[in-house]
């Protein structure tokens, strides 16, 4: 994945410009539940106070379609680098207003 002030490039899958995105947030959604986020070890670390640690990045497109993203996902623990990704996006003025 490549990030710049002009686009998010998801390794050849799709390339998004800021004007194509309504909002970018980290939250649990129907397609990626808190149970899924607990990882294959099933430690349920995503419940309660730890819920946001493993929440996926949700990119809401102007088309109304959500794009669910996991950055550096580790299957056995369910951990990601999603928080760092969101923090990094805030450094770009073109993305800052879209990050929740």
Residues 38-95: tens digit of each pLDDT: 555 555 544 545 555 667 899 999 999 999 888 888 777 667 899 999 999 999 999 9
Looking at per-residue pLDDT, the higher value among 15 and 28 belongs to 15
Query: Could you tell me if residue 78 is inside a domain?
Result: yes
Query: Could you tell me if residue 43 is inside a domain?
Result: yes
Long-range contact pairs involving 66-71 (C-beta distance under 8 Å, separation at least 24) = 66/29, 67/10, 67/14, 67/16, 68/29, 68/31, 68/32, 69/10, 70/32, 71/1
Query: Could you tell me if residue 12 is inside a domain?
Result: no
Query: Could you tell me if residue 83 is inside a domain?
Result: yes
How many domains does the structure of the chain reveal? 1
Query: Could you tell me if residue 3 is inside a domain?
Result: no
Q: Which pLDDT value is given to residue 20?
A: 97
Query: Could you tell me if residue 63 is inside a domain?
Result: yes
Q: Which pLDDT value is given to residue 39?
A: 54
Question: What does pTM read for this prediction?
Answer: 0.78
Query: Could you tell me if residue 32 is inside a domain?
Result: yes
Domain hosting residue 86, numbered range: 22-94
């Amino acid at each position: 994945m490549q990030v710049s002030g002009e686009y998010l490039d998801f390794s050849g899958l799709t390339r998004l410009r800021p004007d194509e995105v309504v909002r970018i947030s980290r939250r649990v959604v129907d397609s990626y539940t808190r149970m899924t986020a607990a990882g294959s070890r099933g430690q349920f670390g995503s419940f309660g106070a730890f819920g946001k640690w493993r929440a996926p990045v949700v990119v809401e497109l102007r088309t109304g379609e959500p794009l669910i993203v996991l950055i550096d996902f580790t299957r056995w623990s369910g951990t990601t680098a999603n928080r760092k990704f969101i923090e990094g996006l805030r450094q770009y003025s073109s993305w800052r207003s879209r990050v929740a």
